[in-house]
Structure 1
Amino acid sequence: MRDEVGKRFTGGCLCGALRYEAVGEPSMSGHCYCPDCRRASGSGFSPFMVFACDALTITGESRQFQTRSFRGTDAVRNSCPTCGSLVFGGEYGKDDAHTIYAGSLDDPRVFKPTIALFTRDRPDWAALPEGLTLFETMPE
């Protein structure tokens, strides 16, 4: 998939040591309001995009942090060991898909959210954009 001509998403951490390039369209794009994403992002939600593993290239080292997901599996978040920026989710090279945190995009205008996850956990002060498909928890 990396050889296909198509849309490219690039980004990385604050210091530039951890970078990525994703090719093609994300399979999901939205806001997650779950308590873990709120804490990890330091905000009312975490803006994310999901890409298949073969559409993503990661360069640089990352520091992983694991928690239990809503479904009881490991949720892995990767940040830069130098500057601490949260960049992507999943175990690179092991998982079928990876989450890219939209705040790490070089061009944030390319982020087009379509869904909102864990709306049951959304704080009142975190605005919910119009037009998103809403899910109380995680869709099947």
Structure 2
Amino acid sequence: MMTNSFKGGCLCGALRWEADRAPDYMGLCCCGDCRKASGSGFIPFMGFPASALTIMGPTRQYRCQAFRGGVSTRNSCPTCGGLVFGGEHGLSDSHTIYAGSLDDPSLFEPTMLLFDRERPAWVVPPEGLTRYPAMPE
């Protein structure tokens, strides 16, 4: 797999990202916030260190309380509203990239499912995922 093929962006292309390597992890999150943000039963996500990412374009940020009490920041395109990444660009050590923003969706290979306890019954996870009732320690 070519690591330089991990790139993507929003619906209109104004907010783009590129990674210089493969993500540290990939998974599905079924928490209530991710379900609301995605309009679906889960959000597919990938985790990258901030140093591996180049993020280009304007963002619109939404902040809410995170599971462990801190602040969770979601970044979307101010033009089309496409949800692209989590974290504070320029401040966070790592970022969650939403896999729906990938240019090549075949690169997404989840290995975990977070917040299985909140997963709607109609969400049927792929075989072989490590399932966590909430956020792993």
TM-score by length of 2: 0.97
Query: How far did residue 87 of structure 1 move?
Result: 0.3
CA deviations over 1:107-131 (Å, ceiling 9, x no partner): 0000010000000000001111111
Identify the residue that residue 80 of structure 1 maps to in structure 2.
Answer: 77
User: What is the one-letter code of the residue matched to 1:76?
Assistant: T
Partners of 1:26 and 1:134 lie apart in 2 by 19
CA deviations over 1:54-86 (Å, ceiling 9, x no partner): 000000000000011110010000000000000
The ranges of structure 1 where at least 4 consecutive aligned residues each deviate by more than 6 angstroms after the TM superposition are none
Partners of 1:121 and 1:38 lie apart in 2 by 10
Which of 110, 113, 121 aligns to 1:113? It is 110
Which of 17, 24, 27 aligns to 2:24? It is 27
Partners of 1:109 and 1:27 lie apart in 2 by 17
Partner SS state of residue 55, structure 2: strand
Query: How far did residue 23 of structure 1 move?
Result: 1.7
Identify the residue that residue 7 of structure 1 maps to in structure 2.
Answer: 3
Partner SS state of residue 122, structure 2: coil
Q: In the TM superposition, what are the counterparts of 1:51-130 in structure 2 within 5 Å?
A: 51-130=48-127
Partners of 2:111 and 2:52 lie apart in 1 by 20
What is the count of residue pairs matched by the alignment? 135
User: What is the one-letter code of the residue matched to 1:39?
Assistant: K
CA RMSD of aligned residues (A): 0.7
